Amino acid sequence: MSYFSSFILLFFCIIYLTVISHAINNDFSVELIHRDSYKSPLYDPSQTKFQLILNAVHRSINRANYMNKEFSTTGNKFKSSLTADSDGEYLMNYSVGTPPFNVYGFFDTGSNLMWVQCKPCNICYNQTSPIFNPSKSSSYQNILCSSRTCKSVEATSCSYDRDACKYTVDYGRGTKTQGDLSVETLTLNFTSGSIVSFPKIVIGCGYTNTLSWEYNGQSSGVVGFGKGPTSFIKQLDSLIDGKFSYCLNDNELNLSSKLNFGDAAIVSGDNVLSSPMINMIGNYQKDYYYLNLKAFSVGNKRIKFRGFKNKGINASTDTILVDSGTPVTIFPHHFYHRLESAVKKVVKLKRFKDDSGSYSLCYNMTSHQPKFPILTAHFNGADVKLDSNGVFHQLYERVKCLGFRPNNDGLAILGSKALLNYLVGYDLKKNIISFKPTDCTKY
């Protein structure tokens, strides 16, 4: 063997060992991109800050409406919290296939299956970035109808002429994805600079993907982080020991956010608060993340929480869904109005009427920074004092609004904006969600 050949072999051995070492170390992070960031394929420079804020509110409303309708639904289709008008807040950039093909998927704790649009399309929505072609990937494999994976996954059928397992994800209101269930290699760019591939990840390769609306710059698909067996987080379970965490920035400073796995996801140190997750029953509810919410405090005023009552749900009525894809926090209308009333009694600023109807309670800010009350979410075992900027959203330069919305159907959702400047950790083995005050702009 020549010196040059030996050098090349040594080089690739080092690369391989580096990849394996990082995987075994169970300690890695990736970047999350806000949908409105200039780094995002959905970035639209023509949108004003006001329009972006209203869009976030409307996505939250639509997402909550859909989740209410599907909350107690059982059936033979995947159910997801993504809706036709609410496709997520944060994008995860990764590569699929061999050689690696770059895609963007919405990071979503309210979904399970990971899927991408694929060529050749029967019907594909408008995606400005190139669409993945599995025929050009040497690592792509269809899952067979007879396989245990196909039989164990909901919403599958078979194409017996070519022995391929088919999937369907129905988001409602004319939005769905259909295609082949497959295994493929996924490659992540770690924030440490390493590039690591994960073989044989189950994904949906969507050939028929319809939306009830169209606009340029659609993402390639969805990265499900629910608790179901097909979610990305569950497929990495043996490697990351059921742990992931995130520290989310909104789009004010165009900063990226960080998504952590395994040992890197452990939330520890001073001021960490943890609450046990509520285990639900039913095809839809059991795969997502719920906490017991006992009360909310506005300053020293404590308001007892009472939420939904749905047949077939194995939980008390004081349950709230923690959802990365819903920006604005949603409360049952009867509780919201009590909370709003308590805020009105404390805040003495002049009221502002939001003609868009997006916010119910807004204030004109004075030249001096107003002192808004501290709002505290009292979870089981964790009293989390929410960041003022995550609770009171800036609508205009001198206008701030209470960033919560009433929901007539009763479901409560803790939105991503409410957890501004918190490191949020999920431990599926201990069955807890942890919160630690953190400056996410510096994390």
Q: Which residue's structure tokens are 């995987």?
A: 23
pLDDT at res. 325: 83
Clarify whether residues 207 and 278 are in a common domain: no
Pairwise CA distance, residues 45 & 36, whole Å: 9
Per-residue pLDDT band for 73 (boundaries 50, 70, 90) equals: very low
Backbone angle region of 353, left / alpha / beta, with phi > 0 → left and psi within -120 to 50 → alpha: beta
Q: Which residue has the higher pLDDT, 404 or 411?
A: 404
Contact between residue 205 and residue 134 where contact means Cβ atoms under 8 Å apart: yes
Which residue among 242, 263, 284 closes a domain? 263
Clarify whether residues 62 and 196 are in a common domain: yes
pLDDT at res. 21: 39
Enumerate the active-site residues.
Answer: 108, 323
DSSP conformation letters of 140-191: -EEPPTTSHHHHHSSSEEEETTTTEEEEEEEEETTEEEEEEEEEEEEEEE-T
In a domain, 8, yes or no: no
CATH number of the domain to which 403 belongs: 2.40.70.10
In a domain, 23, yes or no: no
In the chain, the number of structural domains is 2
Clarify whether residues 158 and 184 are in a common domain: yes
Residue 311 has pLDDT above 60, yes or no: no
Residue 246 has pLDDT above 60, yes or no: yes
For the beta carbon of residue 3, count every other beta carbon within 10 angstroms: 7
| Mean pLDDT, residues 422-429 taken together | 97
Where is average pLDDT lowest: 1-10, 55-64, 316-325, 381-390? 1-10
| Mean pLDDT, residues 160-189 taken together | 87
Per-residue pLDDT band for 338 (boundaries 50, 70, 90) equals: very high
pLDDT at res. 216: 46
Clarify whether residues 120 and 228 are in a common domain: yes
Clarify whether residues 52 and 63 are in a common domain: yes
Q: Which two tokens stand for residue 51?
A: 């329009």
Express each pLDDT in 44-53 by its tens digit: 888 888 888 8
Clarify whether residues 277 and 423 are in a common domain: yes
Clarify whether residues 236 and 332 are in a common domain: no
Clarify whether residues 206 and 283 are in a common domain: no
| Mean pLDDT, residues 227-253 taken together | 91
Clarify whether residues 241 and 288 are in a common domain: no
Pairwise CA distance, residues 246 & 443, whole Å: 10
Contact between residue 214 and residue 172 where contact means Cβ atoms under 8 Å apart: no
Pairwise CA distance, residues 32 & 109, whole Å: 13
pLDDT at res. 281: 67
Residue 320 has pLDDT above 70, yes or no: yes
Clarify whether residues 190 and 237 are in a common domain: yes
Nearest to 194 by CA among 18, 10, 8, 17: 18
Nearest to 77 by CA among 196, 166, 9: 166
Residue 283 has pLDDT above 60, yes or no: no
Clarify whether residues 241 and 347 are in a common domain: no
Helix (H, G, I), strand (E, B) or coil at 304: strand
Pairwise CA distance, residues 194 & 13, whole Å: 15
In a domain, 4, yes or no: no
Which residue among 248, 263, 278 closes a domain? 263
What's the chain's average pLDDT? 84
Pairwise CA distance, residues 131 & 125, whole Å: 10
Which residue among 219, 248, 263 closes a domain? 263
Clarify whether residues 214 and 203 are in a common domain: yes
Q: Give the C-alpha distances (Å, rounded to integers) separating 341 from 219, 245, 402.
A: 40, 34, 11
Residue 162 has pLDDT above 80, yes or no: no
Per-residue pLDDT band for 225 (boundaries 50, 70, 90) equals: very high
DSSP for residue 118:
B
| Mean pLDDT, residues 122-129 taken together | 88
DSSP for residue 278:
P
Pairwise CA distance, residues 221 & 124, whole Å: 11
Domain that holds residue 311: 265-437
Nearest to 149 by CA among 204, 198, 94: 204
pLDDT at res. 437: 97
| % the chain with pLDDT above 70 | 81
In a domain, 5, yes or no: no
In a domain, 72, yes or no: yes
